[in-house]
């Protein structure tokens, strides 16, 4: 009888300890509740659970939300992309990176934005590919924004290429004629801004060319001028001076401010 009791005691002690519900903190109990809701058949309930986990802004809640990154509904996957950002940059980026290849444009776009928010250089290579190869301009633009937030100089060639890129035009006749059009304006504008954020002189020639081309959309020219001022390379002074009298008053003002940063003596207040 004694032997049996001892064996039973040893077996019980080998079981993993599971904390009773009463020993969980309120936060842990809430995470458990929301994690269980992720298995619901109702899309809105799953989405709400992910939203609540993200709002807790804790690593443990973000890890629970990560289970929804593979949800069949795109809106739930998108919600999960933001919900995991309370994790460290390395862990969050490793979870989000696969969604840059998601079948849904909305998910890819939000994954790109999220990678920028992590500021992790682990996302640079995949974002560079997205800027150059994704079929949707919203995703290419989001990737360009993210690369500027990360600030890694490895992204400069891809962003420079996006500024000058020409794409095959849509439509049967255009394809037959092999007509090409400029890259989407949002992508070009985001690329110009990001080149200034990265602050690499390697980007200066492309930014000067963009600024000097009067056929370039006004928003893109303005951001090229602003980025040239941030980078501060004196090589940009002639191009900036040339637009001080531009018909676009906002461009003229931005060029003036850029010149004051680079070479105050070269700045002349536009009329």
pLDDT digits (tens, 9 = 90+) for 32-67: 999 999 999 999 999 999 999 999 999 999 999 999
Measuring CA to CA, which residue among 178, 179, 183 is closest to residue 164? 183
Distance of CA 164 to the CA centre of its chain: 21
Residue 160 · residue 196 · CB < 8 Å: no
pLDDT digits (tens, 9 = 90+) for 97-140: 999 999 999 999 999 999 999 999 999 999 999 999 999 999 99
Q: What is the 3-state secondary structure (H, E, C) of 163-223?
A: HHCEEECCCHHHHHHCCEEECCHHHHHHHHHHHHHHCCHHHHHHHHHHHHCCCCCHHHHHH
247-263 residue pLDDT tens: 999 999 999 999 999 98
> Which pLDDT does position 16 carry in this prediction?
43
Sign of CA dihedral 97, 98, 101, 107: negative
| Measured CA distances, 136 to 55, 104, 147, 165, 183 (Å) | 30, 10, 17, 14, 11
Structure tokens at 60: 């443990």
Give the model's pLDDT for residue 116.
98
Residue 182 has pLDDT above 50, yes or no: yes
Q: What's the confidence (pLDDT) of residue 264?
A: 80
pLDDT of the residue at 263:
87
The pTM (predicted TM-score) of the whole model is 0.85
Q: Say yes or no to pLDDT of 10 above 80.
A: no
pLDDT-based confidence at residue 24 (cuts at 50, 70, 90): confident
Which of these ranges, 13-17, 29-33, 244-248, has the smallest mean pLDDT? Answer: 13-17
Residues whose CB falls within 8 Å of the CB of residue 84, separated by 6 or more in sequence, listed in order: 54, 62, 63, 65, 66, 69, 92, 95, 96, 114
Pairwise CA distance, residues 13 & 35, whole Å:
29
Q: How high is the mean pLDDT of the chain? A: 89
Set out the domains of the chain in order of their start, with CATH numbers.
Answer: 31-87 (1.25.10.10), 96-198 (1.25.10.10), 213-271 (no CATH)
Q: Is the pLDDT of residue 94 over 50?
A: yes
How does pLDDT run across 161-170, given as a tens digit for each residue? 999 987 655 5
């Amino acid at each position: 009888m004694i032997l049996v009791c001892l064996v039973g005691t040893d077996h019980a002690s080998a079981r993993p300890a599971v904390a009773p519900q009463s020993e969980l903190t309120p936060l842990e109990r809430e995470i458990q509740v929301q994690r269980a809701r992720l298995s619901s058949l109702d899309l809105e309930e799953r989405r709400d659970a992910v939203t609540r986990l993200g709002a807790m802004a804790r690593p443990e809640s973000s890890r629970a939300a990560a289970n929804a990154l593979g949800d069949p509904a795109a809106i739930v996957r998108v919600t999960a992309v933001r919900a995991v950002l309370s994790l460290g940059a390395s862990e969050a980026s490793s979870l989000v990176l696969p969604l840059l290849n998601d079948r849904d444009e909305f998910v890819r776009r939000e994954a790109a934005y999220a990678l920028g928010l992590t500021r992790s250089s682990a996302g640079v290579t995949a974002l560079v590919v997205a800027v150059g190869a994704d079929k949707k301009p919203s995703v290419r633009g989001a990737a360009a924004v993210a690369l500027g937030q990360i600030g890694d100089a490895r992204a400069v060639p891809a962003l420079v290429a996006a500024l000058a890129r020409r794409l095959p035009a849509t439509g049967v006749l255009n394809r037959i004629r092999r007509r090409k059009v400029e890259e989407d304006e949002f992508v070009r504008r985001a690329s110009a801004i990001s080149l200034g954020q990265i602050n690499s002189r390697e980007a200066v020639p492309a930014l000067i060319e963009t600024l000097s081309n009067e056929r370039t959309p006004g928003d893109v020219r303005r951001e090229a001028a602003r980025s040239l001022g941030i980078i501060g390379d004196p090589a940009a002074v002639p191009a900036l001076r040339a637009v001080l009298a531009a018909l676009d008053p906002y461009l003229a003002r931005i060029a003036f401010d850029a010149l004051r940063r680079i070479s105050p003596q070269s700045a002349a207040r536009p009329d």
